[in-house]
Chains A and B, each alone.
Chain A
Amino acid sequence: MKLVTAIIQPHRVDEVRAAVEAAGVKGVTVSEAAGYGRQKGHTEVYRGAEYTVDLVPKTRLEILVDDADAAIVTEAIVSAAQTGKIGDGKVWTVPVDDVARVRTGEHGADAL
Chain B
Amino acid sequence: MDSGNIAWLLTSASLVLLMTPGVAFFYGGMSRSKSVLNMMMMSFGAMAVVGLAWVFVGNGISVGESQAGGLFGDPTSDLFLSSSWAAGDGESLIATGFGATFAIITVALISGSIADRAKFSAWMAFAFLWAIFVYSPVSHWVWGGGILSDAGPIFSEDWFPQDFAGGTVVHINAGVAGLVLALLLGVRKGFGKEPFKPHNLPFVMLGAALLWFGWFGFNAGSAFAADDVAAAAWVNTTAATSAAILGWLFVEKLRDGKATSLGAASGVVAGLVAITPAAVAVDPWGALIVGVLAGVLSSLAVGLKYKFGYDDSLDVVGVHLVSGLWGTVAIGLIGTTTFGAWDGLFLGGGFGGLTAQLVAAGVTIAYSAVATLIIGLAIKHTIGFRVSEEIEIAGIDLAEHGETAYEEAM
Contacts and interface: CB of A to CB of B under 8 A. Distances in A.
A45 B318 CA distance: 17
Contacts, number: 33
Contacts of B252: 45, 48
Interface string B292-317: 00000001101100100000000100
A78 to B, nearest CB: 32
A51 B258 contact: no
A31 to B, nearest CB: 15
Nearest to B306: A49
Interface in B222-273: 252, 255-258, 260, 262-263, 266
Which size class do B's interface residues fall under?
10 to 19
Interface string A19-60: 000000000000000000000000011111111110000000
Contact of A48 (B195, B197, B198, B299): B299
B262 A47 contact: yes
A51 B197 contact: yes
Nearest to A44: B197
Contacts of B263: 47
B315 A48 contact: no
B406 to A, nearest CB: 16
A45 B256 contact: yes
Contacts of A45: 252, 256-258, 260
A48 B258 contact: no
A10 B264 CA distance: 28
Interface string B187-199: 0000000010110
A47 B316 CA distance: 13
Contacts of A50: 256
Contacts of B318: 47
Nearest to B319: A47
B315 A46 contact: no
B257 to A, nearest CB: 8
A49 B318 CA distance: 13
A109 to B, nearest CB: 38
B256 A51 contact: no
B198 A46 contact: yes
Given A46-B198, A48-B303, A52-B195, 12 more contacts: A45-B252, A45-B256, A45-B258, A46-B262, A47-B262, A47-B315, A47-B318, A48-B300, A48-B302, A49-B306, A50-B256, A53-B195
Interface of A: 44-53
Interface of B: 195, 197-198, 252, 255-258, 260, 262-263, 266, 299-300, 302-303, 306, 315, 318
30 contacts: A44-B197, A45-B252, A45-B257, A45-B258, A45-B260, A46-B197, A46-B198, A46-B260, A46-B262, A47-B262, A47-B263, A47-B266, A47-B299, A47-B302, A47-B303, A47-B315, A47-B318, A48-B252, A48-B255, A48-B256, A48-B302, A48-B303, A49-B195, A49-B303, A49-B306, A50-B256, A51-B195, A51-B197, A52-B195, A53-B195
